[in-house]
Amino acid sequence: MSPVKSKWRGGSSVSLTVLFMLAVIIAVGVFLRGQAFLSTEVVEPLQAEAAESYALAQTLGSQGAYQVLAAPFDNSSEEVAASEVFGSLGYPLFLSLFATPEATASSLNAVVITQMVLGALAILLVFILATRLMDPHWGLITAFLTAVSPFLVNVSLYLIGATLLLVTLLLYLISTTRLGERGALIRAFLAAALLGVVALVDPTYQFLVLPWLLVLFFTVRKGASKILIPVAAVLGFALIFGPWMARNQNVIDAPIAAAPIAASIQQGMPSADADETASGQDTETPSLLAALGRLGGALINDPRWYFVEKPQTLWSVGQPASAEQSLVYPVSETPYAENPLFLTSEEFMRILHGPLLLIGAIGVILVWLPFAGRRLTPSQRIGLRSISLVLIYATLTHLFGVAQSHDAAPLLPLLFVMALTPLYVITSPRLEAAAPKTAQEPESEPQLETDAT
């Protein structure tokens, strides 16, 4: 049987065998998620951020999304604070497709089933991402790890935005893997537009575009394209996220809602500071400048909290990646308690958790070094560096704000790719110095740099 004619650097192609194995992996992922849905009983599914998102989705459903975007919410509403309203609407808009005036089991199940489908789509997307950056065999490994991870199986059972965020992040990162090819301006525009969707889904990523623009600027070859490609990215991001910033500016006199950021910083303070805040008379969210000032003092006074204890919480470092950690809210039943298949997959990922985290951290740093640059094409460099940047950015923002284990769930497939990167780079031959000046890369077409820096 002839392989499917889709080539990657190194001459590899997606054969029918690889496609069959991918189908089996996706089927395993769907089976695990389906059985988890049928066998898991969440004690109270609408808690904390899930309750806030669903309440906002109910408002969107009753008022209509257009009306909500055209006029502010009633500040007297007890269901959702005004600061949350102007933080992000991406996931509440998604929930509004299913939300009913009274939260019913059928409406909640509809959300979970849809998120299961998105979870299966994420398995395919991470395969595409890893295959574009390496080859199909590496893609199968990342797809398998994504399919069986207890964190990724369980996170779709809750009404939080992790699964939707994972899919949008993967779409954005897949679009960055072609920035070294012809049509770089259009590709940069589309990639930045997808990043705008990510920012709408999760406000944590609203500022990711800034360091990514710097990556583009320093990766593009000298000449007009060094300016044109970042400008195209700015326009793409502004197309999607710009109207939301304009809406905030019109209503709260600021393009970015600072109150949720300040609240996250305050909630992420060391426990002693949190106790003082809770016991004090003034429990209102401080201004962003005040929160940043407190953050600076806390970093000096208690660096262990931010650089040891919070990474342990975020990435579950130092303790097994057990089912208890992968569950966002308490459950009365879970297949990870007694089902042999689930227990096996959990133990398998528990054993791999530490090595994947360690090697993944090495990969995050390695892709920025000249050693890796000499063995990667321009498209591979920008793609892998974009993944590395997402992991670095997300980790820092959660360390300075609120850090919970499920916050890292959408980042796990990216960690899997980074964990395979050192092995791939070491086994890859060094690119020929003359490779950049081939017929496929004319000087007149805006391209990314082809040197190793």
**φ/ψ (deg, to 5) at 448:** -80, 160
Please report the pLDDT score of residue 120 as a whole number. 93
- 206-220, 246-260, 351-365, range with the lowest pLDDT: 246-260
Share of the chain above pLDDT 90, in %: 32
Is there a contact between 191 and 176 (Cβ–Cβ < 8 Å)?
yes
Q: Where are the alpha helices (DSSP H) in 367-449?
A: 370-373, 378-400, 412-427
pLDDT tens digits, 27-49:
999 999 999 999 888 888 887 77
Question: pLDDT over 70 for what percent of the chain?
Answer: 79
Contact criterion met (CB below 8 Å) for 54 and 95: yes
* pLDDT, greater one: 135 or 324: 135
Cβ-based neighbours of 128, under 8 Å, separated by 6 or more? 139, 174
Give me the pLDDT at residue 72, please.
46
Q: Which amino acid is at 209?
A: V
pLDDT in tens, 149-167: 999 998 888 888 899 999 9
Q: What is the mean pLDDT of residues 310-317?
A: 80
Q: Report the pLDDT averaged over residues 254-272.
A: 78
pLDDT for 102 equals 79
What secondary structure letter does DSSP report for 333? E
Q: How far apart are CA 195 and CA 240, in angstroms?
A: 9
Least confident piece of the model among 208-212, 280-284, 434-438: 434-438
Nearest of 5, 11, 18, 6 to residue 143 by alpha carbon? 18
Long-range contacts of 44-49 (CB under 8 A, 24+ apart): 44/329, 44/330, 45/108, 45/158, 45/159, 45/329, 46/103, 46/108, 46/159, 47/329, 48/329, 49/160
* Residue 435 pLDDT: 44
The mean per-residue pLDDT over the stretch 381-387 comes to 92
Mean pLDDT of the region 234-254: 84
Q: What is the pLDDT of residue 317?
A: 60
Residues 68-125 have pLDDT tens digits of: 554 444 444 444 444 445 567 888 888 888 888 777 888 888 999 999 999 999 999 9
> pLDDT-based confidence at 321, cuts 50/70/90?
very low
27: tokens are 């089927």
Which residue in the block uniquely carries the two structure tokens 């965020």?
Answer: 165
Say how many C-beta atoms besides its own lie within 10 A of residue 210's C-beta. Answer: 10
* pTM, to two decimals: 0.85
pLDDT value, residue 314: 84
Distance CA 244, CA 117 (A): 28
For the record, the structure tokens of 383 come out as 């793609």
In sequence order, the 6+-apart residues with CB closer than 8 A to the CB of 109 are: 37
The sign one gets for the Cα dihedral 122, 128, 150, 415 is negative
State how beta strands 331-333 and 41-42 pair: antiparallel
Instruction: Indicate left, alpha or beta for 183 from its phi (over 0: left) and psi (-120 to 50: alpha).
Output: left
Q: What is the mean pLDDT of the chain?
A: 80
Is the Cα torsion angle 341, 343, 345, 347 positive or negative in sign?
A: negative
177: Cβ contacts below 8 Å, ≥ 6 apart: 129, 132, 133, 379, 380, 382, 383
Between 172 and 303, where is the model more confident? 172
**Cα gap 365→367, rounded to integer Å:** 6
Higher pLDDT, 291 or 77: 291
Question: Do 61 and 96 form a contact (C-beta atoms < 8 A)?
Answer: yes
Contact 90, 197 (CB under 8 A): yes
Please give the Cα distance from 255 to 194 (Å, whole number): 19
Would the pLDDT of 438 be above 60?
A: no
How far is Cα 133 from Cα 421, in angstroms, rounded to an integer?
9
Least confident of 76-90, 320-334, 378-392: 76-90
Query: Looking only at Cα atoms, what is the longest distance across the chain?
Result: 74
Highest mean pLDDT among 165-174, 249-258, 349-358: 165-174
